[in-house]
């Protein structure tokens, strides 16, 4: 027992260093904000970016990114990427939307179904990775296309919009003056932080990612841990989908497709290692806000969507390159 | 006797069983399925996929993955048609414009492959991240170049790449062979020669089997790994050019999802991502699984919207079947050796 404890402890993340990395990223974020504020300065309307409404908007967009990216951080900590997150957002939000609007089902049931569906999709990913032993990026890339195919099948390219008021509260309402997406993402972040850094499950996630063989030797059922990680990711993607459509008040099959690349960029930028065993939730948090700021800047400057996509693609490659060159992680 | 039958059953690749099973199901469901015309059609329609999948197989053999091939396919089609159209509008003859366009298209693939390869081989990025990023970049570039839509082209010489051979050669049976199929066959032979009769091919398999072992025995890992992705880019662009010639237009999103089909075909064909196992002969079967599934679903009258989701599901199930079967074979081999 004692020996197992010791092994687990040796895998435990140095939360102090994680905070320091977060602080460095915070500095980057502040500099970026200053830069964006100056770049987007309008002679008539002044610093548009620093407008309270705009800042709130940035945080709100970031919070949806945070919810997905937290899931991605957890799968990367335990094993590898989850490329299917975008499609999971699409399918779960489409299912919830159809249940509420076309079938007239009371919205909490629609939400519950969507979340369960997210869990089921995560389970399928986890089973494909552990029991069929497909490499994670191939398994999740496969589910990406299949799940998107079903999302497309359900809505046939149509858009469903106009949800019940109760449902819209999740995306539109405020609790104690704070917009709900921010509240939801804060809760998700707090719980995930606690689980990842202060519970046995978190230790096991880190241990499995760092060295699956050693983790197995020290009595961790690593297949189960990997499955749990992908289930969490599926659940969080579904949650993000619900918050997203509650905010935008509309759902379509391609709603999640644009999230894959930014989420990968965010997680890598946040300092989570792509080889497993190192996940930094604080880094992910700050990186998600950085990403939202960059998006907001491009929107204010009215840069066309395709150029934004190009920028995100370059950012994925660029952040990994910088990560490699900085040589912080092997 | 029984054991030889069994060993024969086991030796036949699992993808062949899947193809036979699917064809059996579709034949029973629809009388219009098993006709010469339809079989020729399946082969013709999937020639481009085979070309792209051969590139994906080479990458998988070296323990990498190329998620950018679909976007590179779109981009090369767009650049090819863009240049061709520009030259034709400025008065160049159709033939010269065709050659220039095709050259630019292939060059696009090579350049994108070279960038991806450099990121992976020199900067040592994980292949799926580097190619995922390049997928975004190439996809966005093709949207920008084609202004988010399609560019139509009307070049009688360019149509060659998408037509049947009997338009050019007056031999019997030539109506059954299309130019895409013909090119795919040539590419197959070329890749076969490269993979099994050149040192480059040996190095691909060596890198996939044991990278550090290959490095220690003097293989220039960086150069050859880079070359693999250039190859994959080149083959993807060839697929894109043929596709553009077939539909006489370059669509900026035509390649979306092709990388999944290509990788799935390679895996279905028995190429394994762990030990450099597999080969390109199986990839032909893998392409057939996807092609037969998609074509069959259309022929038996499945609504178009169902086809992508169902094809994907069939492919995933077939991959699971393939992996399970190869693991079972492996265990059987161990048991036999243990008994001896």
Q: Chain A contacts of B318, Cβ < 8 Å?
A: none
DSSP A17-55: HHHHHHHHHHHHHHHHHHHHHHHTEETTTEESTTSHHHH
Chain centroid offset of residue A14 CA:
22
Please list the alpha-helical segments (H only) found in B90-148: 94-117, 127-145
A-B contacts (CB, under 8 Å)? 115
Residue B320: the pLDDT is 84
Residue B1: the pLDDT is 43
Nearby residues of B39 by Cβ (< 8 Å), 6 or more positions away: none
Q: Decide if B316 touches A, using CB distance below 8 A.
A: yes
Indicate yes or no: CB of A137 within 8 angstroms of CB of B128.
yes
Q: Chain A contacts of B311, Cβ < 8 Å?
A: 149
Which helix (DSSP H) or strand (DSSP E) does residue B39 occupy? Answer: helix B36-45
Q: Chain A contacts of B315, Cβ < 8 Å?
A: 142
Q: Chain A contacts of B133, Cβ < 8 Å?
A: 261, 313-317, 320
Q: Chain B contacts of A307, Cβ < 8 Å?
A: 140, 144
- Residue A313: which of B140, B311, B319 has the nearest Cβ? B140
Nearest one of B276, B315, B266, B277 to B54, comparing CA atoms:
B266
Indicate yes or no: CB of A153 within 8 angstroms of CB of B309.
yes
* CB-count burial class (<10 Å; 0-12, 13-18, 19+) for A2: exposed
Mean pLDDT of all residues in chain A? 83
Interface test with B, best of A86, A131, A145, A253 (most B CBs within 10 A): A145
- Residue A306: which of B144, B305, B319 has the nearest Cβ? B144
pLDDT at A329 over 50: no
Q: Percent of chain A scored above 70 by pLDDT? A: 91
Nearest one of B264, B202, B269 to B15, comparing CA atoms:
B269
Q: How many residues does chain B have?
A: 340
Instruction: Read off the pLDDT of each residue in B149-172 and give the average, rounded to a whole number.
Output: 80
Mapped onto helix, strand or coil, the DSSP state of residue A221 is coil
- Residue A306: which of B123, B143, B273 has the nearest Cβ? B143
Nearest one of A123, A298, A323 to B129, comparing CA atoms:
A323
Instruction: Read off the pLDDT of each residue in B321-325 and give the average, rounded to a whole number.
Output: 81
Q: Chain B contacts of A153, Cβ < 8 Å?
A: 305-306, 308-309
pLDDT at B17 over 50: yes
Distance, in Å, from the CA atom of A301 to the CA atom of A214, rounded to the nearest integer, reads 51
Indicate yes or no: CB of B312 within 8 angstroms of CB of A149.
yes
Q: For residue A6, give how far its alpha carbon lies from the nearest alpha carbon of chain B (Å).
A: 31
**Residue B72: both structure tokens together:** 């590179």
Q: Chain A contacts of B65, Cβ < 8 Å?
A: 137-138
Question: Tell me, what DSSP letter sits at residue A161?
Answer: E
How high is the ipTM of this complex?
0.78
Q: Chain B contacts of A154, Cβ < 8 Å?
A: none
B20-41 tens-digit pLDDT: 888 888 888 887 788 888 888 8
Give residues 252 to 271 of B whose Cβ lies within 8 Å of A.
257, 260, 263-264, 267
Q: For residue A10, give how far its alpha carbon lies from the nearest alpha carbon of chain B (Å).
A: 26
Residue B18: the pLDDT is 86
* CB-count burial class (<10 Å; 0-12, 13-18, 19+) for B230: buried
Residue A22: the pLDDT is 63
Q: For residue A23, give how far its alpha carbon lies from the nearest alpha carbon of chain B (Å).
A: 26
pLDDT at A15 over 60: no
A132-182 tens-digit pLDDT: 888 888 888 888 888 988 888 888 778 888 888 888 888 888 888 788 899
Which chain A residue shows the shortest CA-CA distance from B303? A153
Chain A residues within 8 A (CB-CB) of chain B?
Answer: 81, 83, 128, 132-135, 137-138, 141-146, 149-150, 152-153, 156, 260-261, 264, 268, 274-275, 306-307, 309-310, 312-317, 320-321, 324-325
B172-218 tens-digit pLDDT: 677 778 889 989 999 999 999 999 899 998 888 888 888 888 888 88
**Residue B123: both structure tokens together:** 């900067």
Indicate yes or no: CB of A137 within 8 angstroms of CB of B65.
yes
Distance, in Å, from the CA atom of B291 to the CA atom of A155, rounded to the nearest integer, reads 25
Contact indicator for B2, B265 with CB cutoff of 8 Å: no
- Parallel, antiparallel or unpaired: strands A41-42 and B150-152: unpaired
* Bigger pLDDT: B276 vs B157: B157
Distance, in Å, from the CA atom of B285 to the CA atom of B271, rounded to the nearest integer, reads 11
Q: For residue A322, give how far its alpha carbon lies from the nearest alpha carbon of chain B (Å).
A: 10
- Residue A309: which of B126, B139, B311 has the nearest Cβ? B139
Indicate yes or no: CB of B140 within 8 angstroms of CB of A309.
yes
pLDDT at B77 over 70: yes
A79-113 tens-digit pLDDT: 888 889 999 999 999 999 988 888 878 888 989 99
pLDDT at B144 over 50: yes
Residue A305: the pLDDT is 81
Q: Chain A contacts of B138, Cβ < 8 Å?
A: 313
Chain centroid offset of residue B301 CA:
26
Q: Chain B contacts of A324, Cβ < 8 Å?
A: 123-125
pLDDT range class, residue B236, cuts 50, 70, 90: very high
Indicate yes or no: CB of B136 within 8 angstroms of CB of A132.
no
Lowest mean pLDDT across A27-36, B139-148, B169-178: B169-178
Indicate yes or no: CB of A313 within 8 angstroms of CB of B264.
no
pLDDT at A300 over 90: no
Q: Chain A contacts of B331, Cβ < 8 Å?
A: none
Q: For residue B246, give how far its alpha carbon lies from the nearest alpha carbon of chain A (Å).
A: 25
Which chain A residue shows the shortest CA-CA distance from B274? A135
């Amino acid at each position: 027992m004692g020996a197992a404890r010791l092994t687990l402890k040796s895998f435990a993340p140095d939360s102090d260093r994680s905070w320091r990395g977060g602080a460095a990223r915070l500095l980057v974020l502040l500099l970026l904000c200053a830069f964006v504020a100056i770049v987007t300065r309008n002679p008539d309307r002044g610093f548009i970016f620093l407008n309270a409404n705009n800042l709130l908007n940035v945080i709100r967009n970031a919070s949806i990114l945070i919810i997905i990216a937290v899931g991605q951080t957890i799968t990367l900590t335990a094993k590898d990427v989850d490329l299917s997150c975008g499609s999971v957002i699409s399918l779960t939000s489409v299912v919830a939307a159809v249940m509420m609007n076309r079938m007239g089902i009371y919205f909490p049931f629609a939400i519950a179904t969507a979340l369960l569906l997210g869990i089921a999709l995560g389970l399928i990913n986890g089973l494909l990775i552990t029991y069929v032993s497909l490499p994670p990026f191939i398994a999740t890339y496969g589910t990406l296309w299949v799940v998107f195919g079903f999302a497309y099948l359900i809505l046939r390219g149509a858009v469903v919009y106009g949800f019940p008021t109760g449902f819209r509260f999740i995306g539109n309402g405020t609790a104690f003056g704070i917009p709900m997406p921010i509240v939801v993402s804060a809760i998700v972040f707090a719980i995930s932080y606690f689980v990842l850094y202060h519970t046995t499950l978190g230790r096991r996630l880190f241990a499995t990612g760092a060295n699956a063989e050693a983790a197995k030797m020290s009595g961790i059922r690593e297949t189960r841990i990997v499955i749990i990680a992908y289930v969490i990711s599926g659940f969080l993607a579904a949650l993000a989908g619900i918050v997203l459509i509650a905010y935008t008040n509309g759902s379509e099959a391609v709603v999640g497709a644009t999230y894959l690349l930014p989420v990968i960029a965010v997680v890598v930028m946040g300092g989570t290692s792509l080889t497993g065993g190192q996940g930094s939730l604080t880094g992910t948090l700050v990186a998600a806000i950085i990403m939202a700021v960059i998006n907001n800047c491009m929107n204010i400057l009215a840069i066309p969507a395709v150029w934004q996509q190009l920028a995100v693609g370059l950012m994925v490659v660029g952040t990994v390159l910088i990560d490699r060159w900085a040589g912080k992680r092997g | 006797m029984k054991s030889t039958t069994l060993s024969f059953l086991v030796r036949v690749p699992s993808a062949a069983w899947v193809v036979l099973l699917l064809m059996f199901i579709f034949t029973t469901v629809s009388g219009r399925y098993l006709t010469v015309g339809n079989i020729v059609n399946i082969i013709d329609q999937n020639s481009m996929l085979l070309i792209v999948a051969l590139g994906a197989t080479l990458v998988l053999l070296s323990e990498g993955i190329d998620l950018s091939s679909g976007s590179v396919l779109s981009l090369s089609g767009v650049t090819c048609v863009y240049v061709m159209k520009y030259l034709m509008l400025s008065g160049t003859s159709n033939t010269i414009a065709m050659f220039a366009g095709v050259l630019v298209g292939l060059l696009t693939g090579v350049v994108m492959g070279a960038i991806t390869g450099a990121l992976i081989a020199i900067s040592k990025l994980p292949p799926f991240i580097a190619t995922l990023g390049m997928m975004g970049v190439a996809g966005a570039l093709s949207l920008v170049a084609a202004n988010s839509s399609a560019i139509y082209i009307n070049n009688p010489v360019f149509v060659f790449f998408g037509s049947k051979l009997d338009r050019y050669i007056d031999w019997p049976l030539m109506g059954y062979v299309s130019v895409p199929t013909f090119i795919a066959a040539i590419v197959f032979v070329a890749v076969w020669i490269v993979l099994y009769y050149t040192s480059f091919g040996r190095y691909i398999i060596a890198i996939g089997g044991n990278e550090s072992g290959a490095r220690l025995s003097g293989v220039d890992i960086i150069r050859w790994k880079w070359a693999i992705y250039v190859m994959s880019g080149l083959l993807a662009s060839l697929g894109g050019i043929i596709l553009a010639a077939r539909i006489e237009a370059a669509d900026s999103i035509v390649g979306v999802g092709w990388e999944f089909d290509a990788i799935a075909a390679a895996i279905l064909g028995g190429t394994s991502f762990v030990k450099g196992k597999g080969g390109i002969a199986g990839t032909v079967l893998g392409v057939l699984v996807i092609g037969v599934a998609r074509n069959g679903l259309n022929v038996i009258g499945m609504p178009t919207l169902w086809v992508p989701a169902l094809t994907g599901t069939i492919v995933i199930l077939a991959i699971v079947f393939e992996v399970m079967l190869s693991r079972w074979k492996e265990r059987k081999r161990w048991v036999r050796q243990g008994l001896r």
